[in-house]
Structure 1
Amino acid sequence: MENTNSNLVGLTNSEVQKRIDEGKVNISTNIKTKSIKRIFCDNIFTLFNLINVILLAALIFVGSHKNMLFIGVVIANIIIGIVQEIRSKISVDKLTILSEKKINVLRNGKIAEISKDEIVLDDILVLSRGSQIPADCIVCDGSCRVNESLLTGESNLIEKNVGDELLSGSFIAAGKCYAQAVKVGADCYAAKINNEAKYIKKVNSQIMESFNFIIKICTFVLFPIGIAFFIRQFTLPDATLQSAVISTVASLVGMIPKGMILLTSSVLAVSIIRLSSKKVLVQEMYCIETLARVDVLCLDKTGTLTTDEMTVTGVIPFGADDNKIKKALSSIVKASDELNATLYALRDYSDSVSPYECSKFCDFSSETKWSGGTFENGKTYIVGATECILKSREKYSEVYSEIEKINQTVRILVLAESDSEPDKDSLPDDLKPLALILIKDKLRDNVNETVKYFKEQGVTLKVISGDSVKTVKNIAIDTGIEGAENAIDMSTVTTDKELEDAAERCNVFGRVTPAQKKKLVVALKKHGHSVAMTGDGVNDVLALKEADCSVAMASGSDAARNVSQLVLVNNDFGAMPSVVAEGRRTINNLERSSALYLVKTIYSVILSIFFIFFRTGYPFEPIQLTLVGALTVGLPSFVLALQPNKDIVKGNFTVNIIARSLPTAFCISADTILLAILKYMTDMPQAQFSTLCVYLTAFSCMLLVIRLSIPFNPLRAVMVIGCSAGIIIGSIFFGGLFSIAPLTFENIILLVIFAVGTFVVFNIFYNIAQHYIEKFKKESHLKLTAKRNANKQKR
């Protein structure tokens, strides 16, 4: 790397090694993924696993060894969960390394690129606009403006000069400086506020909320019902400790929806692996679900709709010759601390002339939207947004008149000069326009197809950019954004009421400040929208944090990537449909499969309560539920959960899974209760009673599996046939193992009658449930639409 202009030389190699040996290294305490140890612990040491171990111990105590087979399913679940999470971790870690930006440090008098974890105490860091500060530092040369909103919640920029402190977790919004690391690793400010947990937003996940609700209910009812149930079974005539324990274990095993939690983590882990193959880094697991539910997607123009490649396509002079214009532009480019796509375009245009030396310079910032300085010829040159430099339209009518004539899809910058010096917050009053610079943005190759996809999916696209409204409008039109003709200049919006009105009414916004970006997202959420935001710059950070789902480009700023839940490693907006499709597949399939697990929980609770008050033995043994559960719940749920599904996500997750599970749970409960009453009245043998209940339970569950498998494909058909065959084979050839007795002729007739009745009742109830699910989805959509319309009428 080339030498720096600073007199600083940084640490030597021997000094670096000494600090590494002393452990004074910036090892991150904010690990993106779980450690292997934590993955094992999280999958093994759970409440449900503890309950299963206690039940296993009870069976060992009474010597019922064959009924311990259920623990094999528990172990298999643990292994599957661990393997999937480790695979997911490997995928995420690889992409994290790939997308991570290097840090410039000064060592041996030269600039070197290293990772954040390689920074040592006293390293001299070279920080410029967009850099997120990786360790607590002291500015030792240069100056910058810092945004500490990630730490303090305040978005105001803070001026930092030599001797001032820079806190890890904040980021440089303007300027460039050399800063010495004074605290690294766990000693940093960010680490001391629990890895910046202060500003991490709550996960917006219906799946997580639903499962937490179900777990709480199960935990609440499990112990009191279990104790009361055991007492009742132990006090039955002819009861033994062994029979009471076996019945109680069967009852409690059925109540625990352990597979549902495993299914969710495994399916999400598979989704992360699938997305990683498309170079999409998932930094927050449940954001896959959130993105699938969004109805508004806010886009930053640069980096999302366009690439970072730009070129000067034209110059409109105002009395200045070509050499003077190029000289001014070349001087600004050379004096700039950071070269972005715009400055690269200006450099390519003006590199044929030699620049002036700069005596004072103000770097570009998202707030001011200009950069420039005073040079050796005594002139001040400024380049940037016309509206932010030449604010009086009357005074500079000639410039604005020329801008009105431009119909190309270009970015328009103004170059102006003055005899006075600027400062960081204000411009000279005697600015004179030299030229308009027309810069062309290159659209991403697949952007039109991506925009079309979201339109077809009912997602409203809104372009929010700091560029001129005309530039943003033309690009939005080129990409097919609806409502692009009604673009609004946000510099004319002065009140929150006007901003809220514009947020709902318009789809294209120009001259948007970082604070306004955040307010637009807040306003859209206030109107009932689920909002996703894409961005790549420091000016997008506030909006990204506020959005329900945040997506960053890997080529963007550190700050944008670090606050985002998804990172597009290849900087390809065209990957977004894949993310949405993966989210829809995940949610819809989990909703379908989770109903299978909830069936067992519901009927186990109902039957346990019934048999507390009814004086007869519980019909099920753990070994029987293992057979039925594995072939009507476990295997089908995983097959269904990993199938393609591109349906739009609708309705409430909890309501949907409960509604789908109730018909089956009702049929199983009704069949078992009626058979228990019949047994009590006719003195039916316990073995016959138990076998009838097992067959009808399996039959009812298979009816649900069949309904959930519609429409059938080859894999689903094979799964249904295979599971049905498995139950038949297990019952016929392994009846002794599974405590399934041969039925008498009378009981076979009884089984057929109950099966026919179950078939009819199940389908009636399931059709009713499906009707109400669709009705609830429709009503929810109508309520949301009515709310939005009411908001519009109020305005």
Structure 2
Amino acid sequence: MSDTDTIKGLTQEQVDKLTADGLFNETVKSQSKSVCQIVAGNVFTYFNLIFAIFACLLILVRSYINMTFLPIIVINTLIGIIQELRTKRVLDRLTLLNAPKTKVIRDGKESEVDSQTLVKGDLCRFKSGNQICADAVVVDGIVRVNESLVTGESDEITKKKGDMLLSGSFVVSGECLAVLENVGLSSYASKITLEAKASRKKQQTEMMRSLDKLVKVIGIAIIPIGILMFCRTFFALGNTLQQSVVSMIAALVGMIPEGLYLLASIALVVSVMRLAKKNVLVHEMACVETLARVNILCVDKTGTITENKMSVAQVEPLEYYEQGEFPALHEMIGNLVNNLNADNITMETLQQYFDSEKTRQAESVCSFSSETKYSSATFSSGDTYIIGAPEKLLLNEYSVYESHIESYARKGLRVMVFGILDYNPEGKKLTSPAKPLALIAIGNAIREDAKETFKYFADQEVEIKVISGDNPVTVSSVAHDAGIINADKFIDASSLQTDEELEAAALKYTVFGRVQPEQKRRIIQALKDNGDVVAMTGDGVNDVLALKSADCSIAFGSGSEAACNAAQIVLVNSDFSCMPSVVLEGRRVVNNIQRTASLFLVKNIFSMLLALFTLIVGHRYPLYPTQLSLLGAFTIGAPGFLLAMQRNRSRIKGRFLVNVAIKALPAALTDFLLVAIFTVYNNFSGIPHEQLSTSVTFILLTVGMAELYRVCRPFDLFRAVVCVLMGAGIVGGILLFPGLFAISSMPLPLFVMTLIWMAGAIPVFYGMCKLIGKLFNRFL
């Protein structure tokens, strides 16, 4: 241990020197990417490399007009960079406000500082709810800690003077002073994190995982297809080098889903920024989609259903107190609670109510533990005052008082027993029951917005599970008053002895009382094993294990530091009523991307089929790259990005890639069939390639607009404006820039034929929609 003054701590001069020497508590990595990482991540992508190669090939063959895809790629890249930078700015500001803080003693004065500014040798004060920010040695006080996040062992461990506190563990109860030994990257937790980073795979949601698979498959497939197309066109058909390169690039450009992945990434980034502006801090971007898919939400009673405040409703003396010779009851309880640290909301409430000064100094105290569910103080006379959960203190005598206690519980009041022992329990389970002196009933007001919030989740078919350490009757009563469906289905988790009983109860009951932290985690796991997508809200140290186990974890900013660090989402203002908006944001993203992704996939599926077709029949590819740019800009890219930002409250159903592919099939197959037949027929007629490609472009634009019309239904003003603007953009592009988009003039017979095919494309498309709908209806 360093030569730290265990009373006054380090001096500011020592702190400055240690900071300059690099002995400060730096973190393994920041919450967000650096500016350089954002720019590099958007610029140096696989498909950007492919497009760069395409551009070089077109420059070599001097076909500059077919490089119109380049501005679109540049714009897409810039949009990605700008949106990520904007989000980084908002998130960094919110992260700074919510950064972990630690109480430190320097120059004899106690203050609260950012944990990252601590240095080796700092004298810190840790109490219940704090997460240990660096390896430290206890110099005064006693705490019980949970080291599950660093060692995997969930048992609570008592730490006394001279014991080591491992960084990453969290204080369950008690208070201590400790001197930091290993800070920053040399701490135990940092070493584990650095080792894990090398082997840890980034967690991805179904949507991003599906897009990754799609990108990889297409990214590999375009290489052999491109080589085959060039060889076929150049060597077999005898086209010029320029024609062969242009034909190959036209086929490959259409296959690349460059905008789809960008659309999904930007939509998620924008969602994170929107939530940040509502004081919702998102630690992992993937959880936005996960929360949108949640069908079970697990909540605690205090702080979620009820206000994070308590009040003593009644103190009722019991027969044992009235028959004995004891000091005043108010004084006795005051001597107990005022000898303890106010390390949880319950103790703060009791100290405020029993606010008399201490008349007795305890020799030893045991702070509240979620395992034993009591607090105690032992005095020099040998007697111990104890307060806690009735069944934990009364043991086999609980049945004597059960009906009376439950009469309070049915009113939604939490009941605690105050009693006396003739031995020191030392923080362990009681070996004999306490002598009960009084019942203390504590109440929590239900949040004003609780009913409305839970009604929203009921309407959205999200099941609520209430998991609490309180009496199940009390929790059930409170849940019923808050409007939670099936709140009368409750169980005492202490009665569940086996894993099988717990797993069965997790599926059957809505309210769980007297739950141990490890049981919370196992309930969450049982629901996940059943195929449910589970979210968990929590604010206490006893919620950490369950938060880490849930598919999506939400913590309250006013809760414990350990819970906030373990959660993926932090409600900075501790406002549970904003949860619907968080869910809606996720649904907006996923549903809109599913809706608009079909626009992107139409071009990819069609281009793949047409490329294979031209290889088989031996014809030249009927399109130019610049024509695909016109098609992509006004029937895919621009409307896709616009529609992805709209509100969408629909519940997410089915699998992402399956949904998108099935919705894209009608337009893709219509495009392929019409273009294949039209190309074969007109190639035998000897129509020049420039005129043929123009006719094909008009047919594809017609089907593209029909698909956009279908995607936009049901129409609102915004979607109607999008359709009109895209149609105007197509007409304007053709009339104003025919040369840029390789639109050539056609003889009247071919023009009339093209119009007939365009008109016929509409019924063919809708017929294909009905056919695909019947074949794949069960997947949608």
Give the TM-score range, shorter chain: over 0.9
Which residue of structure 2 lines up, in the alignment, with residue 55 of structure 1? 54
Q: 1:84 to 1:647 in 2, by over 3 A?
A: same
Distance in 1 (CA, whole Å) between partners of 2:515 and 2:693 is: 70
Q: Where in structure 2 are the equivalents of 1:631-710 lying within 5 Å?
A: 631-710=634-713
The aligned amino acid for 1:400 is: E
Q: 1:774 to 1:139 in 2, by over 3 A?
A: farther
Report the aligned-residue RMSD: 1.9
Q: Where in structure 2 are the equivalents of 1:492-503 lying within 5 Å?
A: 492-503=495-506
Which residue of structure 2 lines up, in the alignment, with residue 320 of structure 1? 321
Residue 548 in structure 1 maps to residue 551 in structure 2: yes
Which residue of structure 1 lines up, in the alignment, with residue 191 of structure 2? 192
Residue 385 in structure 1 maps to residue 389 in structure 2: yes
Distance in 1 (CA, whole Å) between partners of 2:690 and 2:539 is: 67
Shift of 1:452: 0.7
Q: Where in structure 2 are the equivalents of 1:329-478 lying within 5 Å?
A: 329-392=333-396, 395-406=397-408, 407-427=410-430, 429=432, 431-478=434-481
State whether residues 19 and 121 of structure 1, in contact with CA within 8 Å, keep that contact through their aligned partners in structure 2.
yes
For the residue of structure 2 that corresponds to 1:390, the secondary structure is helix
Distance in 1 (CA, whole Å) between partners of 2:399 and 2:609 is: 80
Q: 1:718 to 1:404 in 2, by over 3 A?
A: closer
Q: Where in structure 2 are the equivalents of 1:709-728 lying within 5 Å?
A: 709-728=712-731
Distance in 1 (CA, whole Å) between partners of 2:752 and 2:438 is: 95
229-238 vs 766-775, which moves further: 766-775
For the residue of structure 2 that corresponds to 1:583, the secondary structure is helix
Which residue of structure 1 lines up, in the alignment, with residue 262 of structure 2? 262
Distance in 1 (CA, whole Å) between partners of 2:204 and 2:542 is: 24
Distance in 1 (CA, whole Å) between partners of 2:577 and 2:200 is: 27
Distance in 2 (CA, whole Å) between partners of 1:396 and 1:612 is: 83
135-144 vs 188-197, which moves further: 188-197
For the residue of structure 2 that corresponds to 1:335, the secondary structure is coil
Q: What are the Cα deviations for residues 644-694 of structure 1, in whole angstroms up to 9, with x where unaligned?
A: 111111111111100011111112212221122113211111111110111
State whether residues 415 and 441 of structure 2, in contact with CA within 8 Å, keep that contact through their aligned partners in structure 1.
yes
Residue 16 in structure 1 maps to residue 15 in structure 2: yes
Residue 247 in structure 1 maps to residue 251 in structure 2: no
Distance in 2 (CA, whole Å) between partners of 1:271 and 1:521 is: 27
Which residue of structure 1 lines up, in the alignment, with residue 159 of structure 2? 160
Distance in 2 (CA, whole Å) between partners of 1:132 and 1:103 is: 9
Shift of 1:565: 1.2
- Runs of 4+ aligned structure 1 residues displaced above 6 Å come to 198-202
Q: Where in structure 2 are the equivalents of 1:473-484 lying within 5 Å?
A: 473-484=476-487
State whether residues 395 and 432 of structure 2, in contact with CA within 8 Å, keep that contact through their aligned partners in structure 1.
no
State whether residues 390 and 398 of structure 2, in contact with CA within 8 Å, keep that contact through their aligned partners in structure 1.
no
The aligned amino acid for 1:231 is: C
Shift of 1:398: 4.1
The aligned amino acid for 2:401 is: V
For the residue of structure 2 that corresponds to 1:168, the secondary structure is coil
State whether residues 204 and 548 of structure 1, in contact with CA within 8 Å, keep that contact through their aligned partners in structure 2.
no
Distance in 1 (CA, whole Å) between partners of 2:196 and 2:543 is: 20
The aligned amino acid for 1:220 is: I
For the residue of structure 2 that corresponds to 1:303, the secondary structure is helix
Which residue of structure 1 lines up, in the alignment, with residue 309 of structure 2? 309
For the residue of structure 2 that corresponds to 1:235, the secondary structure is helix
The aligned amino acid for 1:95 is: L
The aligned amino acid for 1:168 is: S
Q: Where in structure 2 are the equivalents of 1:227-238 lying within 5 Å?
A: 227-235=227-235, 237=237
Shift of 1:67: 1.7
Shift of 1:500: 1.5
Distance in 2 (CA, whole Å) between partners of 1:85 and 1:320 is: 65
Number of residue pairs the alignment of both structures matches: 770
State whether residues 327 and 356 of structure 1, in contact with CA within 8 Å, keep that contact through their aligned partners in structure 2.
no
Shift of 1:328: 2.6
State whether residues 541 and 563 of structure 2, in contact with CA within 8 Å, keep that contact through their aligned partners in structure 1.
yes
Shift of 1:80: 0.5
Q: 1:469 to 1:320 in 2, by over 3 A?
A: same
For the residue of structure 2 that corresponds to 1:416, the secondary structure is strand
Distance in 1 (CA, whole Å) between partners of 2:525 and 2:343 is: 32
Shift of 1:467: 0.8
Residue 619 in structure 1 maps to residue 618 in structure 2: no
Residue 38 in structure 1 maps to residue 37 in structure 2: yes
Shift of 1:7: 5.1
The aligned amino acid for 2:43 is: I
State whether residues 678 and 684 of structure 1, in contact with CA within 8 Å, keep that contact through their aligned partners in structure 2.
no
TM-score, structure 1 as length reference: 0.94
Distance in 1 (CA, whole Å) between partners of 2:581 and 2:683 is: 58
Shift of 1:137: 1.7
Q: What are the Cα deviations for residues 143-182 of structure 1, in whole angstroms up to 9, with x where unaligned?
A: 3222221122221223323332222212112222222212
Shift of 1:325: 2.4
Which residue of structure 2 lines up, in the alignment, with residue 180 of structure 1? 179
Q: What are the Cα deviations for residues 375-410 of structure 1, in whole angstroms up to 9, with x where unaligned?
A: 245421111111111111xx3544324213324221
Q: 1:459 to 1:495 in 2, by over 3 A?
A: same
The aligned amino acid for 1:597 is: F
For the residue of structure 2 that corresponds to 1:155, the secondary structure is coil
Q: 1:636 to 1:396 in 2, by over 3 A?
A: closer
Shift of 1:641: 0.5
Q: 1:732 to 1:208 in 2, by over 3 A?
A: same
Which residue of structure 2 lines up, in the alignment, with residue 791 of structure 1? none
Which residue of structure 1 lines up, in the alignment, with residue 169 of structure 2? 170
The aligned amino acid for 1:581 is: L
The aligned amino acid for 2:208 is: M
Residue 26 in structure 1 maps to residue 28 in structure 2: no
Distance in 1 (CA, whole Å) between partners of 2:313 and 2:194 is: 46
Shift of 1:197: 4.2
Mind listing any 5+ residue stretches in structure 1 that lack a counterpart? 1-5, 778-795
Q: What are the Cα deviations for residues 409-468 of structure 1, in whole angstroms up to 9, with x where unaligned?
A: 211111011222221213363621110001111221200100111111111111000011
Which residue of structure 2 lines up, in the alignment, with residue 295 of structure 1? 295
Distance in 2 (CA, whole Å) between partners of 1:204 and 1:366 is: 34
State whether residues 326 and 353 of structure 1, in contact with CA within 8 Å, keep that contact through their aligned partners in structure 2.
no
Shift of 1:772: 5.3
Which residue of structure 2 lines up, in the alignment, with residue 788 of structure 1? none
Distance in 2 (CA, whole Å) between partners of 1:332 and 1:631 is: 74
State whether residues 6 and 139 of structure 2, in contact with CA within 8 Å, keep that contact through their aligned partners in structure 1.
no
For the residue of structure 2 that corresponds to 1:735, the secondary structure is coil
Q: Where in structure 2 are the equivalents of 1:521-540 lying within 5 Å?
A: 521-540=524-543
Q: 1:355 to 1:621 in 2, by over 3 A?
A: farther
Q: Percent identity?
A: 43
State whether residues 370 and 382 of structure 1, in contact with CA within 8 Å, keep that contact through their aligned partners in structure 2.
yes
Shift of 1:731: 1.3
State whether residues 100 and 554 of structure 1, in contact with CA within 8 Å, keep that contact through their aligned partners in structure 2.
no
Distance in 1 (CA, whole Å) between partners of 2:596 and 2:20 is: 52
The aligned amino acid for 1:334 is: N
Shift of 1:631: 0.7
712-721 vs 650-659, which moves further: 712-721
Q: 1:717 to 1:759 in 2, by over 3 A?
A: same
Q: 1:100 to 1:411 in 2, by over 3 A?
A: farther
For the residue of structure 1 that corresponds to 2:497, the secondary structure is coil
The aligned amino acid for 2:687 is: M
State whether residues 391 and 398 of structure 2, in contact with CA within 8 Å, keep that contact through their aligned partners in structure 1.
no
Q: What are the Cα deviations for residues 688-734 of structure 1, in whole angstroms up to 9, with x where unaligned?
A: 11101111111111111110000111121111111111111211221
Q: 1:774 to 1:288 in 2, by over 3 A?
A: farther
For the residue of structure 2 that corresponds to 1:193, the secondary structure is helix
Residue 81 in structure 1 maps to residue 80 in structure 2: yes
